[in-house]
Amino acid sequence: MYRTVLRFFEYCGEVSFHNSCSFNTAQRFGSSFNNFKNIVHVPSQSSLARERFFDVVVVGGGIVGMSTALRLKKRFPNFNVAVCEKELYLAAHQSGNNGGVIHAGICYKPGSLRSKLCIEGMQRLYKYCEAYNIPHKRNGKLIVATNPQEEIWLNNLYDNAIKNNVLDIKMLNSNEIKQIEPHCKGLKALYSPNTGIVNYGAVTRHLGQMFRDLGGNILLGFNVIRSRFVVTCGGLRADELAEMTGESRAPQIIPIRGEYFFLTDAKKHLVNGSIYQVPNPVLPFHGIHLTSQLDGKVWVGPRSMLASQKEGYNWSDYNIKDLWDMFTYPGLQLFVYKYFGACFHEFMKSANINVTLNKLQRYFPSLKLRDLVP
């Protein structure tokens, strides 16, 4: 995140990667930021926002926005920094609505920025949680192959993980799988002991409290219209915020909703950590997982569904404008055309619980329909 922020400032002509930064010559900002030259739009009842000048406004109160704001405040303590969040609490959307998995970097392309950020981010996140006593758990993950084709994919994943320098990754045989997850069945499995679980909403709120303690301002329930200096971390609305700066909205963000079942209380003890099926490398979806959470619940999913609005968490949530933007976007049209079979299968998993159960029983055969609850 720190590197991302510095690259933003470097683009604005203010800093090289290893040098200090100053906003004293703010007029040197690039022309693409000319639209951001007025004030932060805030409700009239907020005397704080009316009376204070902010050197930097970070748009978005998710984990990316709060991490960015905290890093800025630590590096430049004399700056007046504010976070503007349109909802009434932090981590209202992506940061507070996810599976909570701390990934180890197994699947990403070797040498890619995603793989580097994932592995370094995992290590930093564990250190942060340990330093501030934020609940988390290294409960490990199995990626299980149940047939010869999946074994080939699993071997490729293992090679990928080795190239990414994934810590402590192991290949297990069928007997060794039982030592980690006694109720799991497979021919082979990758075991990542450093994969874990955390409540990212709790992490975001802790970042927010640290930011406040340093004198930062968090403005909740605020829609930002214009700001003189801005860093956008708007999650699902990032493409719209880019358009507000005068930049292209492409690539457009398409919301995909993850739907989950839960194991019943009588069955949740059967899962120790996370259990994944081997993903088909040519498809965009990664299959059905079992994920043991901090509260003891076991999530079963996801079934990946196109949401009817960007912040749509239920079938009944929809927004006509968001739908129109999605269905007229050539990128989504091409995606559905290319992966129509996979998209239809995800729909069937959502519409028919037996499709999900059949996937699960390949590597967890003891589960029955009665063991899954909405």
Residues of the chain with pLDDT > 70: what percent?
84
Domain of 213, CATH number, reads 3.50.50
Give per-residue pLDDT as tens, 245-256. Answer: 788 888 899 998
Do 231 and 329 fall within a single domain? no
pTM of the entire structure?
Answer: 0.82
Give per-residue pLDDT as tens, 320-348. Answer: 999 999 999 999 999 999 999 888 888 88
Domain that holds residue 36: 2-95+200-244
| Band of residue 85 on the pLDDT scale cut at 50, 70, 90 | very high
Query: How many distinct structural domains can be found in the chain?
Result: 2
In this prediction, residues 207-228 reach a mean pLDDT of 85
Do 19 and 81 fall within a single domain? yes
Do 57 and 68 fall within a single domain? yes
| Band of residue 25 on the pLDDT scale cut at 50, 70, 90 | very low
Q: Has residue 46 got a pLDDT over 60?
A: no
Do 279 and 350 fall within a single domain? yes
Domain assignment present for 135: no
Domain assignment present for 101: no
Residues of the chain with pLDDT > 90: what percent?
61
Domain of 191, CATH number, reads 3.30.9.10
Do 194 and 313 fall within a single domain? yes
Contact 367, 287 (CB under 8 A): no
Residue 179 makes CB contacts below 8 A (sequence gap 6+) with none
Mean pLDDT computed over every residue of the chain: 84
Residue 304, pLDDT score: 85
Q: Has residue 136 got a pLDDT over 50?
A: yes
Do 316 and 175 fall within a single domain? yes
